[in-house]
Structure 1
Amino acid sequence: MSSLTNLEHIWSTITEVDVQSIREQAQIPFQVALLGSDADAVHWLHDALRTDPFENVLYPLPQTLWVYHLPGDEHVIESTAGFDLALIVFKEGEQNDLERQAFADLRIANPHLPVLLVQVAGADALQSYSPARYDVNPAVVSVFPTDADPFTHALVPRLLALFPEQHVMLAHHLPGLRHAVAQRLIKETSIANAGYSASTGIAELVPVLLIPLNVADVVVLSKNQALMSYKLALALGKDIAVQEMAVELAGVLGTGFVWRELAHFLVGLAPGIGLVPKIAIAYAGTFVIGQAVYVWYGHKRKLTPQQMKQMFAEAMTEGRARAAALAPKRRPKLRLPSVSRPALPRPRLRRKAGKPEEQETGKPVDQ
């Protein structure tokens, strides 16, 4: 019964989001040119970009990755100038005039083409890596063949900055980027949900606003989680309809959506006391859901309840740290506007029957 309830919840939530445009954008053809005079460096990058990080399988990608060895003929620059991205590859300390000339020629042929000089760093480079040391030139980015994820430190952040609206598309077409892009998506969505909970939580400190904002929070946070889940599926190479994803995730997440929402709602019912835990739960709940989806589509297995519980506890630690920075230091006071009291007229004294009117001194008035 819980899986059916979750399925209905996921489906009703995600159908309110325009997922078709996300799917279409992820499937837009994306062409990358790899150029260089060092055949070993070029072929290493070519293989690394098309290697599935979960199954260690090389995908052909004949329509995505194009290799050109320098020096090439006169048509190399002309051909690659129409691509979506050009990566000029060289080993650390071995950049020569061929790479520099190719970079200059491409910038002239197409000033709008993103061109990066990819430096294949040495075996010990990662231990002392810092962007200030290795990537002095904004066009130069380092990759680290000896690292388990050679693109996380420099190449992925640079590509995401160059293509700010196409993160899912990059990972969808280039398997070597999937791990880094997926983890970044999970972290960004978790932080966004924590920030949203903080902003509404401040208003919830006013008790009269508590119940309606808790209901709104559940809707907004769940939409963000559902949208993140669909983006993760696409980023991890799946060409999947949202209906199919909703059915799969109902079993993968189990009661994940339910307990997260229940905890979020109950904590929010304690004005002033529940704000920090509420922000932490929004962060941790989103993080765990993202990791469960990542493991399912990446490794084709489910997280066990014990794994989810442990992951949630660890994420709560980071969530509390973020909550401490986001939550107000003290409960705001609800102040009513001050109103000045109008001056009231003095009451008139009534004369008693049968007695002469008296002055304020109490003496009879002369007849």
Structure 2
Amino acid sequence: MSKLSFVNIVKLLREIDLESIRKEVERRFALVIFGEHTQDTIEIGRLLSGPEIHPWIDLADTTIPANVTYDLGILVTPNQKPSQAEKAAMDRLHHQKAPIIVVETPSPTVMKGIPRRGEFARVKLRRANDQEGFAEVLAPTILDARDDLLLAFGRQLDGLRPFVVQRLIEQTATTNATYALTTGLAESVPGLNVPLNVADMVVLTKNQLIMAYKIALVYGKEGDPRDLLGEILGVLGGGFFFRQLARQLVGLIPVAGIPAKTAVAYAGTYVIGEAVRRWAAGEVPMSTEELRAMFSTLVREKRLALRAPDEPLPGDEPLAQHDE
């Protein structure tokens, strides 16, 4: 693959197992939110799925339904120490090997608590319908507890969807930045000349396409997988943005360009994720100017974070404004 052209980007699509991604998104799950205070369990359920509790979420007191195998249990309690009835309910979930998150509410502060034996995690919320506390500690904890259900949670649960997509973008941007860093370090080893070339860009671009497809499915986009990815490429200028990133990365000099390459790989991936998110969510699409501005800002922030304390920051690396 001598050039990262639109045709070669399309060829990349054939190498991605799109069906397995779709199955992961459509995977069924079962959650139970339980506790002795019914209204609190309802409020937590609404934080997860909106005003109407999703049918895959069961609400219970301390009697866990025996005919369902749960993937996750959430105990909502005002007690630092679970009651005997709550402990009995937790034991039933332990037999199913379901991780249990304890939500302690009300609490004077929002924070992650110290989990007790048998608890995956414990979080504290000011009240059961605490949106800020949900965003700060509970939503991330739920995603940590069942990372294998990340895409399914995002597809089905409106309250979790923004956090799922943000995690997808951050994870992919970090993965690509790490890849750019390792190839950059290889260039600095005497006798080992491994420039970040088009073959390396294939790896980065493939990760970006997979991320974009996952975001589209999480937001409920339907249709033939390759048609859907064709729409995504349209959002990104028919591969224009991918090619501009390739120019930025391949053009940076070895060794001295390591922080810049890492920053460009991170920023480019993040901007692609955000552009696809806005499209998939039905929001106003990002203009070319917005894409470039976000890219430049992220590159600068990442380079600042990567530089040594006494290292001067080189000039910004704006996204090129030309195409072949």
- Using structure 1 for the length normalisation, give the TM-score: 0.72
Structure 1 Cα separation of the partners of residues 307 and 199 of structure 2: 23
**Distance change (3 Å), C-alpha of 1:271 and 1:117:** closer
**Residue 311 (structure 1) aligns with:** 294
User: Do the aligned partners of residues 35 and 148 (structure 1) sit closer, same or farther apart at CA in structure 2, a change above 3 Å counting?
Assistant: closer
The one-character-per-residue Cα deviations of 1:129-165 (angstroms, maximum 9, x if unpaired) are 3x2xx34434443264565454343333333333233
What is the SS of the residue equivalent to 2:279?
A: helix
**Contact 1:190–1:283, Cα closer than 8 Å, also in 2:** yes
Residue of structure 2 in register with 1:15 after alignment:
14
Contact 1:10 1:226 in 2 (8 A): no
Indicate whether 1:69 and 2:61 are aligned.
Answer: yes
Contact 1:229 1:290 in 2 (8 A): yes
Aligned-residue CA RMSD (Å)? 2.8
Matched residue SS, 1:113: coil
Distance in 1 of aligned mates of 2:53 and 2:26: 17
Deviation at 1:9, TM superposition (A): 4.9
Q: Residue 106 in 1 paired to residue 90 in 2?
A: no
Q: Give, in angstroms, the shift of residue 37 of structure 1.
A: 1.8
Give the structure 1 partner of residue 75 of structure 2.
88
Alignment CA distance shift 1:143-1:295 (3 Å)? farther
- Three-state SS of the structure 2 residue aligned to 1:165 is helix
Can you give the 5+ residue segments of structure 2 that lack an aligned partner in the other structure?
A: 309-324
Alignment of 1:311-350 (within 5 A): 311-321=294-304, 323-324=306-307
After TM superposition, the structure 1 stretch with the greater mean CA deviation from structure 2, 151-160 or 32-41, is 151-160
Q: Distance in 2 between matches of 1:319 and 1:41?
A: 41
Q: Which residue of 1 aligns with 2:123?
A: 142
1:199 aligns with 2:182: yes
Q: 2:25·2:217 contact (CA, 8 Å) conserved in 1?
A: yes
Q: Within 2, Cα distance between the matches of 1:168 and 1:225?
A: 16
1:220/1:91 CA distance change after superposition, 3 Å: same
Poorly superposed stretches of 4+, deviation over 6 Å: none
Per-residue deviation, 1:198: 1.1
Q: Helix, strand or coil for the counterpart of 2:286?
A: coil
Q: Report the CA distance between 1:10 and its aligned residue.
A: 4.2
Distance in 2, matches of 1:167 and 1:22, equals: 12
Name the residue aligned to 1:356: none
Letter in 1 for 2:34: L
Q: Which amino acid aligns with 1:114?
A: P
Distance in 1 between the 2:149 and 2:11 partners? 26
TM-score by length of 2: 0.80
8 Å Cα contact 1:204-1:271 kept in structure 2: yes
- Match for residue 39 of structure 2? 40
Find the counterpart in structure 1 of residue 197 from structure 2: 214
Flag the 1:201–1:39 CA change in 2: closer, same or farther, 3 A: same
**1:185 and 2:168 matched:** yes
Query: Higher Cα Rg: structure 1 or 2?
Result: 1
CA distance in 1, matches of 2:24, 2:124: 27
Uncovered stretches (5+) of structure 1, i.e. residues with no partner: 52-57, 326-367
Deviation for aligned residue 1:281:
0.5
Alignment partners' CA distance in 2, 1:261 and 1:59:
45
TM-fit CA distance, 1:43: 0.9
Q: Residue 161 of structure 2 aligns to a residue in which SS?
A: helix
- Judging changes above 3 Å, is the alpha-carbon distance between structure 1 residues 302 and 77 closer, same or farther for their aligned structure 2 residues? same
Match of 1:261 in 2: 246
Partner of 2:320: none
Q: Deviations along 1:185-205, whole A, 9 cap, x unmatched?
A: 111111111111111112334
User: Sequence identity of aligned pairs in percent?
Assistant: 28
Q: Is the 8 A contact 1:191 1:283 kept in 2?
A: yes
Q: Deviations over 1:183-241 (max 9, x none)?
A: 11111111111111111112334698356x41221111000111111122223343454
Aligned length: 297
**Contact 1:295/1:301 (CA < 8 Å) preserved in 2?**
yes
